Structure 1
Amino acid sequence: MGRGGRVDEPGGMMNLPTSSVALALSASAVAAVLSGTGTGTGTGAAVSEVRAGAAAGALRWTPCAQKDGPGDQECASLSVPVDYAKPDGRRMTIGVSRLRSERPQARRGVLLVLAGGPGGSGVQRLGQKGAALRAETDGAYDLVSLDPRGVGRSTRASCRLPADDRMLANFRPWPGADGGIEETVARSRRAAQACEEHGGAELFSFSSANQVRDIERFRQALGAEKLSAWAHSYGVYVGALYAQKYPDRTDRWVLDSGGDPDHRKVAQKWMTNTGRAVEDRFPDFAAWASDPAREAGLRLAERAEEVRPLVLGLAAELDRRPKETTTPNTPLTGNALRQALHSALYSDGAFESFARLVRDARDPERVPVLPGALVNPMSDEDAAVATAVICNDIRWPASVPAYQRAVSADRARYPLTAGMPANILPCSFWRAPAEKPTRITSEGPSNILVVQNLRDPATPHFGAVKLREALGRRARMVSVDAGGHGVYLGVGNACADRTVTGFLTTGERPEGDIRCER
């Protein structure tokens, strides 16, 4: 890595209203301003928002240590409008959390930890990563996070979906064994109708744009002039939106393992990128599963190139004849195997469990044990928020025949994911979004560091490159020769960890984009 450069002082800001005024705009007006189509704002709403912002303080902190997390983690509740266009209307609660700096004399600010998802808990992630992050930053920050709308300690909503529709192998839109999407279409229609009937105003407020507004309200309540951030996965998109809308409120901004920010497609683009992402990642598992040093029974093939046809052949066999498992009435199907594979590719540490599943599925004398995520349905609230956010963010295409053609083409191109990334979701039958999505641009201070594994099965490197390109001069990018989802304090790459920690603690970034080798 070459000589570093300190992040720029805020300058070249977007031509946007100040944060307090921007939040006062109606949902549609905010989107119009951000997309460059707005023509102006009224003053009455701005006054209301300033008043509402002033009342957002006085967080009451109580202990809320997470299992195996720091013992001094605290939580509080933040009241926000369900609809920011109606600041005096219905309210909802956002659960927030903090770990105060253990070295107040070294404290330089507040670092926001943004979880993935949609549906990830920031409170839990702060508990999981707080100790390591504290050690890396050496007391430089109060660490804070929040549970987005619909998650954990925040106000939740329900669609009352049937349990079978909330099983992960059904909740994700895997096509039928023959590539047909009829069942997925029926399930998607059913889910959209149930959410419309039972979700209420809260469910339809679950959006990336509102999470950004909630973060800004949290900043106001904390009394922080600016926030630094470490955003992960879907949280990267939220973090990028916040930096776009409130560039003057950002300090040191780390975007870890994000996707293509294409504002026309958003989560639809993230889905369609999955097929290629899995194909790019699979050779890591194939090398592991063919290693001569592998434990007896878990070495699936003598050569790496034999592993892929073995897994594909097993999935096809399970399509025809699902195999009983240790979970009553829940057989191992081809799609369950494919889902287990995709989940296992998130971390090298999961390779062994997937290899064991493959071994047991191939052995007539063994009964496979399903991974935990495939045994029980998601909670109705978790399914609701995971669906609502991506459906509320943009309008999705609605042509069923177009989806069938896309699935057929994707199955042929990327057999490991069997057309799932191109399939239909409830979003195609959803009500129109409340506002237009935001386009990420290069306008704002140069204070962003993008970090990304080269072989990420969820948010692929080629998608993160699009984010880097959109941010332009605002960002530098660290590409890591590793597989899996999540870089910082995740894959153990010393170069990447050192670069991120140096940025957070000193403000130093690489002068240009760099690559960290194994």
Structure 2
Amino acid sequence: MRVTLRRPVAIAAVLALVVVASPAATAAPATAAPAPEAPGGVAGVAVPSLNWQDCGTGDGFQCATAQVPLDYRDLSAGTLSLALARRPASKPEQRIGSLLVNPGGPGGSGVGFARGVVEELPAAVAERFDVVGFDPRGVGLSSALACLDPEQTRAAFARMTAARRPGDFERGQAFAAEFHAGCQARSGALLPYVGTEYVARDIDVLRAALGDAKLNYYGVSFGTYIGTVYANLFPKNFRVLALDGGYDPESYANDPYRYDLGQFRATEAAFNRFLDWCAKTPDKCKFGNGNPGQAFDKLVADLDRDPVKDAEGKVTANGASLAYRIIFAVNGGSPSWPTLGTQLAEAQTRTGRLLRPIAANAAFFAANTAVECADRVYPKSTLQLRARLAIAAAVAPRLGPVAAYGTPGYDHSHAAVCQQWPAKQASRYAGPWSAKGSDPILVIGTTGDPDTPYQDSVVLSRTLRNARLLTFVGEGHSGMSNSACARQATADYLVSKKLPARGARCEDDPAPA
């Protein structure tokens, strides 16, 4: 999942990027021998030249593109372009180097996230680093993947419901097949090469292109998995690696049913904590008249029975799309609860943000799903899939069915589509995970995180051989979003390599307001 920032961050779509099939001008030699000291870990990979130009956004950011190999195992396959944006260090005389940042997803734009890091983290970060974001391969401005178009996404959600019903497994299989066909038709040539191993190799090539002997990295949510893979491929190549909202890497990559079940539980639990707060503080929560759980159940049932339609009679919102939006909404944590209550009250009048058409997320859903299917291996047993999805829907009765049986979207909605995934997994990393021999790594975990459960950060900090865990006792997705204490600890580590004390906890969760 991508992180939710406290303030909106503009994304400048200023670069046109395409996959280059294999023209002679960009094709590299076919040899791709492992070479840990070479950029990307592969002999023969050229370090790209970065031609920085003003992005035209009026905020001091510069934009560039970098050519990287399409396939690190066959350099003759050609290159693709990655989009980058950077804000040069505001105190260049004290500059440490570049700080490469990633917001997660998969499918989140690092180009946009770089602006958020400059705004959100303490000033010392932007003073001492060139803050650099990039859109990973297949994402945003970097040869974006496409699967379903917005109209197909709208039509798929129109066929979904928020609650279990007969035939939901079979409908889920049909949704997966439809998604497969769209991905193959629109992005088939790129699908094998969007896995996180190749993203990590891209990062090492970018490190060299930026002129840094050692990488400085800050990743949130899925960005922690990218960072973990990087640390294991290149344990000697980074100075600092801050991972906020950790993934249990072994479970994510190699035992996905177990990993997904944790997300189903965490998301449902976070929404239930909101409902409990809403019931106890009706003066601050405008939804439900003291019984928000019952009101929500009625609202989604009413919307599934009588969905919102546009002037042409097409369904634009229903109970299923509302439940899906709640999965996003709970990431904001307790500061967002009053707003969420107001938005749910608006939905009762068939208006408001939660009932906006969800089809606008089609591009994000494509990248999120395709990358996870490139990274993970689900058992091929259809009987096991049926049983596991039933368990997931049962442990998360309000928000689980749309993720388990709906069209592929993000995070824990991928089992059916990934179990049948037709593309070669040429860029998948499966371990080891200890990053033996690395410098110290900082892991930040949030106890009430609805998307990257706290226990996953605990496991990650123990799996990495040289890591320190900082615990934010609070709600929301990532410490960056809601904890000034966590933001300061992150900045101290990035700038000075100072780790928090063992067992350190940030207990500054802001109250709902």
* Class of the TM-score when normalised by the shorter of the 2 chains: 0.7 to 0.9
| Letter matched to residue 444 of structure 2 | V
User: Shift in Å at residue 210 of structure 1?
Assistant: 0.8
Other structure's SS at 1:425 match = helix
For the 8 Å contact 1:24–1:46, the answer to whether it is kept is no
| Letter matched to residue 403 of structure 1 | L
Other structure's SS at 2:143 match = coil
Of 175, 193, 202 in structure 1, the residue corresponding to residue 181 of structure 2 is 193
Partner of 1:358: 344
Partner of 1:285: 274
Taking the TM superposition and a 5 Å limit, the aligned residue runs for 1:242-391 are 242-262=230-250, 264-265=253-254, 269-292=258-281, 294-295=283-284, 298-302=286-290, 306-319=291-304, 321-324=305-308, 329-330=314-315, 332-347=317-332, 348-362=334-348, 366-371=349-354, 374-379=357-362, 381-391=363-373
Partner of 2:381: 399
For the 8 Å contact 2:278–2:287, the answer to whether it is kept is yes
User: Shift in Å at residue 283 of structure 1?
Assistant: 4.3
1:61 pairs with 2:52: yes
User: Shift in Å at residue 123 of structure 1?
Assistant: 0.5
- Structure 2 gaps of 5+ residues are 1-27, 406-414, 509-513
Alpha carbons of structure 1 residues 330 and 173: separation in structure 2 relative to 1, 3 Å = closer
Other structure's SS at 1:346 match = helix
Measure, in 2, the Cα distance between the counterparts of 1:47 and 1:279.
40
Partner of 2:468: 476
For the 8 Å contact 2:70–2:78, the answer to whether it is kept is yes
| Letter matched to residue 391 of structure 2 | A
Aligned-pair RMSD on alpha carbons? Answer: 3.3
1:416 pairs with 2:398: yes
**Cα-to-partner distance string for 1:230-276 (whole Å, 9 max, x where unaligned):** 10111110011101111111111110112221254376554322221
**Cα-to-partner distance string for 1:462-487 (whole Å, 9 max, x where unaligned):** 22222122114x11111111111121
Higher mean C-alpha displacement, 401-410 vs 212-221: 401-410
For the 8 Å contact 1:322–1:331, the answer to whether it is kept is no
For the 8 Å contact 2:154–2:358, the answer to whether it is kept is no
Alpha carbons of structure 1 residues 79 and 450: separation in structure 2 relative to 1, 3 Å = same
User: Shift in Å at residue 394 of structure 1?
Assistant: 2.5
Measure, in 2, the Cα distance between the counterparts of 1:269 and 1:168.
27
User: Shift in Å at residue 405 of structure 1?
Assistant: 2.1
Taking the TM superposition and a 5 Å limit, the aligned residue runs for 1:419-498 are 419-423=401-405, 424-431=415-422, 432-434=424-426, 435-472=428-465, 474-488=466-480, 490-491=481-482, 493-498=483-488
Partner of 2:491: 501
For the 8 Å contact 1:274–1:421, the answer to whether it is kept is no
| Letter matched to residue 457 of structure 2 | A
TM-score by length of 1: 0.80
Measure, in 2, the Cα distance between the counterparts of 1:222 and 1:459.
30
Alpha carbons of structure 1 residues 337 and 52: separation in structure 2 relative to 1, 3 Å = closer
Measure, in 1, the Cα distance between the counterparts of 2:146 and 2:485.
43
**Cα-to-partner distance string for 1:15-72 (whole Å, 9 max, x where unaligned):** xxxxxxxx99989x9xxxxxxxxxxx699x999944433xx24210011155xxx611
Measure, in 1, the Cα distance between the counterparts of 2:39 and 2:167.
52
| Letter matched to residue 426 of structure 1 | V
| Letter matched to residue 186 of structure 1 | A
Higher mean C-alpha displacement, 261-270 vs 170-179: 170-179
Measure, in 2, the Cα distance between the counterparts of 1:449 and 1:42.
27
Measure, in 2, the Cα distance between the counterparts of 1:449 and 1:126.
19
For the 8 Å contact 1:275–1:410, the answer to whether it is kept is yes
User: Shift in Å at residue 293 of structure 1?
Assistant: 6.4
Identical pairs, percent: 26
TM-score by length of 2: 0.81
Measure, in 2, the Cα distance between the counterparts of 1:377 and 1:46.
37
User: Shift in Å at residue 407 of structure 1?
Assistant: 2.5
| Letter matched to residue 449 of structure 2 | D
User: Shift in Å at residue 225 of structure 1?
Assistant: 0.2
Measure, in 2, the Cα distance between the counterparts of 1:175 and 1:275.
15
For the 8 Å contact 1:157–1:199, the answer to whether it is kept is yes
Alpha carbons of structure 1 residues 447 and 172: separation in structure 2 relative to 1, 3 Å = farther
For the 8 Å contact 1:48–1:87, the answer to whether it is kept is no
User: Shift in Å at residue 202 of structure 1?
Assistant: 1.9
Taking the TM superposition and a 5 Å limit, the aligned residue runs for 1:233-244 are 233-244=221-232
Taking the TM superposition and a 5 Å limit, the aligned residue runs for 1:75-90 are 75-90=63-78
Measure, in 1, the Cα distance between the counterparts of 2:432 and 2:219.
18
| Letter matched to residue 473 of structure 2 | D
Measure, in 1, the Cα distance between the counterparts of 2:429 and 2:218.
26
For the 8 Å contact 2:158–2:317, the answer to whether it is kept is no
1:517 pairs with 2:512: no
Measure, in 2, the Cα distance between the counterparts of 1:49 and 1:24.
11
Measure, in 2, the Cα distance between the counterparts of 1:404 and 1:301.
38
Partner of 1:36: none
Partner of 1:128: 116
For the 8 Å contact 1:325–1:370, the answer to whether it is kept is no
Other structure's SS at 1:120 match = coil
**Cα-to-partner distance string for 1:439-468 (whole Å, 9 max, x where unaligned):** 311512241111121111111112222212
For the 8 Å contact 2:122–2:487, the answer to whether it is kept is no
For the 8 Å contact 2:321–2:355, the answer to whether it is kept is no
Alpha carbons of structure 1 residues 325 and 368: separation in structure 2 relative to 1, 3 Å = farther
Partner of 1:212: 200
Measure, in 2, the Cα distance between the counterparts of 1:122 and 1:87.
25
For the 8 Å contact 1:176–1:183, the answer to whether it is kept is no
| Letter matched to residue 396 of structure 1 | Y
User: Shift in Å at residue 151 of structure 1?
Assistant: 1.7
| Letter matched to residue 265 of structure 1 | N
User: Shift in Å at residue 115 of structure 1?
Assistant: 1.9
- Structure 1 gaps of 5+ residues are 1-22, 30-40
For the 8 Å contact 1:480–1:515, the answer to whether it is kept is yes
User: Shift in Å at residue 425 of structure 1?
Assistant: 3.1
Alpha carbons of structure 1 residues 416 and 47: separation in structure 2 relative to 1, 3 Å = closer
**Cα-to-partner distance string for 1:394-437 (whole Å, 9 max, x where unaligned):** 23233333222222222332212234555543212213422452
For the 8 Å contact 2:263–2:453, the answer to whether it is kept is yes
Measure, in 1, the Cα distance between the counterparts of 2:159 and 2:442.
34
Alpha carbons of structure 1 residues 240 and 252: separation in structure 2 relative to 1, 3 Å = same
For the 8 Å contact 1:260–1:269, the answer to whether it is kept is no
For the 8 Å contact 1:164–1:170, the answer to whether it is kept is no
